Amino acid sequence: MSSASTGFTASEMMIVAAARELAGQRVCFVGVGLPNIAVNLAKRTVAPDLELVYEAGVFGARPARLPLSIGDPTIVTHATAVTSMFELFGFYLQGGLIDVGFLGAAQIDRFGNINTTVIGSYASPKTRLPGSGGACEIAQNAKSIFVIMRQSPRSFVDRLDFRTSVGDRVSVVVTDLGIYHRVEGELQLDSLHPGVTLDHVRSAMGWKPRVSESLVETKPPKPAELRMIRDELDPTGVYT
């Protein structure tokens, strides 16, 4: 549902902002969900030379539709290479060929550490989340990690319930409210999305954020970007 005042949704702003952060990047490891749509938008806009790498074992994917899952057959047809998962994780990822790993998260802390395993205790969890998948090794082996996730006091937490993936290489976090970059080991709010106030951001997180002295407003989505999301990438509105 788009906001009457802006003409785009918070999710659309988040996807567009995340896609723009990929300008100039070459080899990107794509995660499930929101990363999938942001990376596919970047490939169609700011980063046409981006090589899309999927953990299912594909290098240089050319998906003709938005992949429904991380192992959709559309990532195979017309790809540069299909590999075993051993090769993909061993040679491409652990071998150091991935510039950006693009991840989602259920919880993140101020240092960029990520939880996708459990809410509550591990032995008797309140909510059982999917677990690592490839995230733990992507976070440790890609040169840089981008995170895209919705921000709330439940997702931006002072203390993670479980550390699934380390934050050392997290360089960008894009949310539905703004954009953070890693400065001196900590996430710093550098940009607020249109219509979002600093107070709103502060109320939607579990720690007192470091804020850039030159905080800016994120440039709103262009009509062409919105058209691609609505007509091509997510016509049924699953992510937006």
Partner 1 sequence: MRDAIAQLVSDGDTVAIEGFTHLISFAAGHEIIRQRKRDLTLCRLTPDLIYDQMIAAGVARKLVFSWLGNPGVGSLHAVRRWTEGERPRLELEEYSHFGMVARYTAGAMKLPFFPLRSYADTDLPRANPLIRPITSPYVDEEVYAVPPLTPDVTIVHAQRADAAGDTQVWGLLGCQKEAAFAASRVIVVVEELVDEAVIRADPNRTILPGLVVDAVVVEPFGAHPSYAQGYYDRDNTFYLEWDAISRDEASLQSWLDEWVHGVTGRAEYVEKMGAARLLGLRPTPAPSGSVDYGEYR
Sites of contact with partner 1 (CB under 8 A):
32-33, 55-58, 67-73, 76-78, 82-86, 89-90, 93-94, 117, 122-137, 140-141, 162-166, 168
Nearer to partner 1, 8 or 102 (CB): 102
CA gap 188, 172 in Å, rounded:
9
CA gap 117, 129 in Å, rounded:
5
Nearer to partner 1, 146 or 239 (CB): 239
Paired sense of beta strands 144-148 and 170-174, if any:
parallel
Closest CA to 190 of 212, 219, 157: 212
Name beta bridge partners: 101: 29, 145
Nearer to partner 1, 47 or 157 (CB): 157
CA gap 240, 36 in Å, rounded:
13
- Minimum distance, C-beta of residue 18 to partner 1, in the bound complex (Å): 18
Name beta bridge partners: 51: 27
CA gap 115, 105 in Å, rounded:
6
Under 8 Å between Cβ of 236 and 229 = no
- Minimum distance, C-beta of residue 169 to partner 1, in the bound complex (Å): 12
CA gap 57, 70 in Å, rounded:
10
H helical segments located in the chain: 10-20, 34-44, 85-87, 135-141, 198-203, 223-227
Closest CA to 101 of 54, 42, 155: 54
Instruction: Report phi then psi at 178, rounded to 5.
Output: -175, -170
- Minimum distance, C-beta of residue 140 to partner 1, in the bound complex (Å): 6
Nearer to partner 1, 5 or 127 (CB): 127
Nearer to partner 1, 72 or 225 (CB): 72
- Minimum distance, C-beta of residue 227 to partner 1, in the bound complex (Å): 23
State the catalytic residues: 55
- Minimum distance, C-beta of residue 65 to partner 1, in the bound complex (Å): 10
